[in-house]
Structure 1
Amino acid sequence: MPAPTRALLLIGPLLLFLALVYVLPFLGILRWSVTLPEPGLEQYRAALTDPLVRSVLWRTLRICAIVTVLSVVLAYIVALIWVRGSPVQRLVVELCILIPFWISVLTRAFGWLALLSNRGIVNGWLQATGLTSDPLTMVRNEFGVVVGMVHFLIPFAVFPLASAMRSVDERVLMAARGMGASRARVFWQVFLPMTRAGVIGAALVVFVFALGFFVTPAILGGGRSVMVAELIYLRIFQSPNWGLGAAISVLLMLAVGAMLAALLRQARPGGGS
């Protein structure tokens, strides 16, 4: 049996499974978007012109951009310690990266709620030490949503960054140091540009994940910082407007698909040049 045929037989069940659980439901959502409540593209026009939907989309893009920048910057520091730190530092970083994967997103969101709420641990400590007289509002707003999302997404940004850092040729760094460049100059002008592909990959991964966040914004936003995934849930389950919810879902899928295409293009050899 030819090798391509064997490969197709091995991967065929997986492709069939993915088609059944992803492609068919998406086709159903696509059909809803152009048939409910009446056939046509009216729901797409509403999704792009309705003030409420546009404000949610703008809020989602703004929060995702902030989360992406913060996550990549913090993940870069973590990855740098993981790749170039001492053995003890590497072990600690590995534990900090792996342990969050064992904790569900729901548990982490409620954990941040317990920490940041008006009667939470952080506000209790601030008031007990006299740093603040009144509790700070750190949840049920965009601040709490950003904190929870950044905490969840940092580990996902670390892996592409660490991979890019491990591919850096140490001889280039040694040559720069040998020519008299300071450590700071070597980092900013040599090391950071050489890890550019990892930074772009990490940013795309984080942004794509952030676009579809639902649990964390719903809990830490408290209904006051609604993002697009929560809006879709509200349109499907709480207000009977399945067509609009389906149209927003399709637009979100198209945005994610464009991001993934950019990520795959960046991942190809020479894609970042």
Structure 2
Amino acid sequence: MARISARWQHRLLLWPLPAVLLLCYVLPFAGIAVWSVTLPEPGMANYARLATDGSIHAVLWRTLYLCATVGVLALLLAFLMAYCWLYSSPGWRRWVELCVFLPFWISVLVRTFGWLIALRSNGLVNGWLEALGVIDSPLALTRNSLGVVIAMVHFMVPFAFFPLVSSMRQIDDRVLLAARGLGASRWRVFVSIFLPQTLPGLLGAFIMVFVFCLGFFVIPAILGGGQTVMAAEYVFLQMFQTYNWGIGAAICMLMLALVSGLVWILLRFSRVERLVG
């Protein structure tokens, strides 16, 4: 009886988590799934429109393109920062840590407006470039994809940094030293030994960044200025501007299917415990 009682005590301590997940995620998604096939009328008309509507295709392709671009750029920057953090002196490590942790202390809204001030026509970036004589007229850095990509990369670099650091820290330095002792150059050691062992971390970091970017709303809405509409903003416009709840719900289900596929790839080809340390 004591064992049964202890087992039930553990279950009672754990039940709030699945209850919260059920109430906050499962039930709302079930409602969205129902809306996608019942609004404005029952049937698969919303999914048929997803397959034929050119404007929706443009938004989806733009979303995928921007997410992939941000993923690659964030991965490159995070890889350099993680490599420097791992093999640099304690002083440089503190600078890298400051660059990584500082964005977490500032909200995404504040950072987005900061980039808007810096990138606008009379902003800091154009002002500095004109003062240095690099440009004669201001560059268009906002109300387009460029400003959106810059701000999204700035936001996502820390999320790629931590999985890469965790993956790099698990590489046995003795293997690298042995390769150097056998005559391999630093570049050969990096390309043939170090980089292949970080591939699971690279894949995991890219998928994590890509999935996060799929749901971006604030940055494209402010820096895109209505010219770079991504999927999340398009869903908002469909539901709260045109009141087309059915097509908005159908896009949500499509994005859920895409995220589920990416998570499956992450679990299939990367060891999650290596990504989180």
Identity %: 54
Select which of 234, 237, 240 maps to 2:237. 234
Render the CA deviation track for 1:55-93: whole Å, top value 9, x for unaligned.
000011111111111111110001111112110111111
Aligned to 1:60: 63
* Greater mean deviation of Cα atoms: 262-271 or 223-232: 262-271
Select which of 66, 90, 94 maps to 2:93. 90
Structure 1: distance between partners of 2:59 and 2:94: 41
**1:11 offset after TM fit, Å?**
1.9
2:104 is aligned with 1:101: yes
Structure 1: distance between partners of 2:158 and 2:76: 12
Aligned to 2:154: 151
Select which of 34, 41, 47 maps to 2:37. 34
Structure 1: distance between partners of 2:109 and 2:210: 20
2:190 is aligned with 1:187: yes
Aligned to 2:127: 124
Residue identity matched to 1:255: L
Structure 1: distance between partners of 2:11 and 2:81: 40
Residue aligned with 1:130, SS: coil
Give runs of aligned pairs for residues 1-273 of structure 1, distance below 5 A.
Answer: 1-2=3-4, 5-268=8-271
Render the CA deviation track for 1:115-144: whole Å, top value 9, x for unaligned.
111111111111222221110001110111
Render the CA deviation track for 1:80-120: whole Å, top value 9, x for unaligned.
11112110111111111111111111111111111111111
Residue aligned with 2:138, SS: coil
Residue identity matched to 2:264: A
Asked if the contact 2:75–2:202 (Cα under 8 Å) also holds between the matched residues in 1, the reply is yes
Residue aligned with 1:122, SS: helix
Distance 1:244 1:269, change over 3 A: closer
Residue aligned with 2:15, SS: helix
Residue identity matched to 2:60: L
Render the CA deviation track for 1:232-256: whole Å, top value 9, x for unaligned.
0000000121100010011111111
Structure 1: distance between partners of 2:272 and 2:153: 29
* Greater mean deviation of Cα atoms: 98-107 or 257-266: 257-266
Distance 1:25 1:269, change over 3 A: closer
**1:4 offset after TM fit, Å?**
5.5
Task: Return 5+ residue gaps in structure 1 as ranges.
Answer: none
**1:6 offset after TM fit, Å?**
4.3
What CA RMSD, in Å, does the superposition of the two structures yield over aligned residues?
1.6
Structure 1: distance between partners of 2:79 and 2:99: 14
